[in-house]
Structure 1
Amino acid sequence: MASSMNWEAARDRLRKLREEQHRCSDEVVSLWEDVLCANSYRLGDELWMVHEQVCIAALDCGNKDVAMMNLHALQEQFPNSMRVRRLRGLFFESQENYDKALKIYDAILDIDETNTLIRKRKIAILKAKDDIRGAIKELNVYVERFMSDYEAWMELCDLYLQEQDYTKAAFCLEELIMSNPHSHLYHEKYAEIKYTQGGIENMCTARRYFAQSLKLNPNNMRALYGLFLSASNVASSKSKDAKTKKDNIKYAAWAAEQITKQYKEVARKKEVDTSSQLTSILHMMDEIQITQTS
C-alpha cells in the first residue's frame, strides 16, 4: 500500500502518526523506504523529525540498516543532542549490547539526573537481562524521586509479584489507591494480592476491596468472582463468629446471583451455552450452605 501513495500523501501520513502519537512501525518504515527516502530533501526542516520517527520504527521492526542510516543522519546534524544519544542507546539495546547502552544512559544522567526516560530505559535493560532484583532496586530509587509516576508504581508492584513479595506489592497498590481512589482496577488488584496472601484477615480485606471495585464498576466480572470466592472462604472458616459467617454467606449469594445474571445475559445475546458455569457456581453455593449448617 505504501508504494501506491504519492510523496505528499506519505509525508502527510507520517505527520499524522506523529501528531496522534501512533507508532505503526511497519507502516512508517514502509513509507520511508518505498516513497520518502529517495526525495527526503523535500521535507525541509521536517526531515529531522522524520529521521527520528523512522529510526524508532525501524528499531521496533528489527530493521538494523534503516535504523542505522537514520541515526547516522541525526548524529551528523546534532552531535551533542541528548535525544540522539538516547536513540544510540536504543540502537544498542536492540542489538542486546546492554553494556554500551548503559554507558550512554549513565553519561546522559550525569548531565541531567532528572531525565525520566533514561532512568526507565535502565530499568528496561535490567528486566531484559532478567535481573529482577536490580530492576526493583532501580525502580525504588525512581519512585522516591518521581512519586507521582503511577505507571512506575504499577511496574514495581508487578516486579514484586514476580518475586512473590506480596507485602511490598500490596504497599505499591496502597500508594496507587491513595493517588486515585476511583480506579476500580487498583482496588481489584489490591484485593487479588490480599486474597493470594491467604488467611482469614487478608480474605476479609480482599472481600472489602472486591466490593469497592464493584461499587466503582458494577460490570466487573473479575471482581464479582473475587467477591464470591473471598466471601465463600470467610463463610467456610472455623475461626470467625456466626454473624460474620452468616453475613459472608449473604455476600457470596449476592455475588453468585449477579454472576448468574451476567452469564444468562451473555447466553441470551450471543446464544451460547453457559450452563456448566452456572452449575459450578450453584454447586459452590450449596457447599457453603452445607458447611454453615454443619
Structure 2
Amino acid sequence: MAGPVADIREMNGSDLISALHLAQQAPAILGQVSGSGVTSSKSSETADYYARLEQLLLACLRTGDDQSAHTCLNRLSLRFGPSNERIMGLRGLYEEATAKDQSALEKCLQEYDNTLSQSPVNVPILKRRVALLRSLNRPSDAISGLIQLLDAIPTDAEAWCELADLYQSQGLASQAIFSLEEALLIAPNSWNVCMQAPFFLFLFFSFLFQIKWSLTLKCKIHSRLGELLYICASDGDASRLLGRSVQHFSRSIELCDDYLRGFYGLTLASTRMLDNDYAGVSGQFPKKTLERLKAFALLKLGEIVESRSIDDQYWASSRSELIAAKELLNRQ
C-alpha cells in the first residue's frame, strides 16, 4: 500500500519518537476506510493493511491517542471477530492502557482469569496476564503464569526470555541462565535476535518480517546470556563463567556485526579476563586471543559510536547505551 505509511514496519518499536511519528499519521491511515467500516479499496483488505493498523493501535496507545487506538481496535475486531484470540489480547492491552486506577487494572486481571477459566491455552491472554502482573509488582505470580504458559507451549522463545528477566529481577541468576539457554535451543538458527518489541505485543507480521525478526532475536539472546554470566562471575568460578561470557558475546557479534551491546560486553569480559590473568587457565582463551578480541571490540565499538552520534535523533531510544559506550572508550 503506497502512501505515508509504506515503511511502518521499518520503524523501531522501542523508540517513542517513531511511535509519535506513526501516531501522527492516524488520520491518513484511518481515512482509508469509510465511516461504514467498509474498506475503500481492495488493497486495504491485505494483511499488510491490518499489520499497519495494529502497529498504529500500539503507537496511539503509547502516545495517548486513545480515541484513534479505539478506532483501530474496532476495525480489527470487525475484520477478525471479537472472539479471535489475538483481538482479545489487543483489547486487553487497550483496557490496561486506558485504566484510570489500580482497581481498574485489577478488574482487567479478573477478566483475564475468567477468560482463561474457559480457554486455558489462550496465549495472548496468558501473556497479557503476565505483563499485567509485572506492572502490578507481583513478580512471583508473573513467574507462575509464565511457567503455566511454558507448560502448554514449551517452544515459545520469547516466554523463556521473559522468564529469564523475571528470574534475574528476583536474584535467581542460575534459573535466569537456564531460561536463556532454553530460548537459544528453541530460537531459529538465525542471523540476529530482536527483543525490542515487548514480549506481550502481538503483531500481524508478514512472512518476510517474521524472518527479519527471528534473525534479530538470537543475537540478543547470546548477548543477554553473556551479560548474566559476566554478572555471576563475581560470585565464584570466575574463570569459567567469564570464558563462557566471552563466547556468547563473540557469537552475538558474529551474528549481528553492528550490535553495540555485544561489542560493549565483549570489551568488558575480555578486559576482566586479562586483568585477572585468567587467559589460558583451565582451557580458557589464550592471552593473545583475548587481546585480539578486546582490540577488535574496541575498534568496532568506536566505529558504531561515531556513526550513531551523527544521526543522534534516530538512535534516541538507545542514547544511554551510546553514553555508556563513550565512557568505556574514554577509559581505555
Q: Same fold (TM over 0.5)?
A: yes
Look up the match of 1:233.
272
Of the three residues 292, 309, 312, the one matched with 1:254 is: 292
**1:1-294 alignment to 2 at 5 Å?**
24-28=22-26, 32=30, 40-41=35-36, 43=38, 56=57, 59=61, 61-63=63-65, 81-83=82-84, 89-96=92-99, 97-180=104-187, 182=190, 183-198=218-233, 199=236, 200=238, 201-217=240-256, 219-220=258-259, 222-237=261-276, 247-262=285-300, 280-281=331-332
CA shift in 2, pair 1:137/1:203, >3 Å: same
Distance 1:270 1:89 in 2: 37
Distance 1:247 1:56 in 2: 49
- Contact preservation (8 Å) 2:253, 2:259: yes
Q: Deviations over 1:59-102 (max 9, x none)?
A: 55545566678989999x99x94247666644532333123222
Distance 1:246 1:19 in 2: 42
- Contact preservation (8 Å) 2:143, 2:163: yes
- Contact preservation (8 Å) 1:192, 1:226: yes
Distance 2:140 2:158 in 1: 18
Look up the match of 1:6.
none
Higher relative contact order (CA 8 A, sep 6+): 2
- CA deviation after TM superposition for structure 1 residue 204, in Å: 2.2
Look up the match of 1:291.
none
Q: Which structure has the larger Rg over C-alpha atoms?
A: 1
Distance 1:211 1:66 in 2: 44
CA shift in 2, pair 1:248/1:113, >3 Å: same
CA shift in 2, pair 1:73/1:170, >3 Å: closer
The answer for unaligned runs of 5 or more in structure 2 is: 14-18, 191-217, 311-324
Distance 1:196 1:232 in 2: 14
Query: Which structure shows the bigger proportion of residues in helix conformation?
Result: 1
Amino acid at match of 1:128: S
Distance 1:267 1:43 in 2: 48
Distance 1:101 1:268 in 2: 46
Distance 2:294 2:75 in 1: 62
CA shift in 2, pair 1:42/1:17, >3 Å: farther
Q: Give the superposed CA RMSD.
A: 4.9
Q: Give the fraction of aligned pairs with identical amino acids, expressed as a percent.
A: 21
The answer for unaligned runs of 5 or more in structure 1 is: 1-8, 282-294
Distance 1:114 1:88 in 2: 17
- Contact preservation (8 Å) 2:266, 2:293: yes
- Other structure's SS at 2:155 match: coil
TM-score normalised to structure 2 length: 0.58
Distance 2:327 2:35 in 1: 61
TM-score normalised to structure 1 length: 0.65
Distance 1:271 1:195 in 2: 27
Amino acid at match of 1:197: C
Amino acid at match of 2:35: S
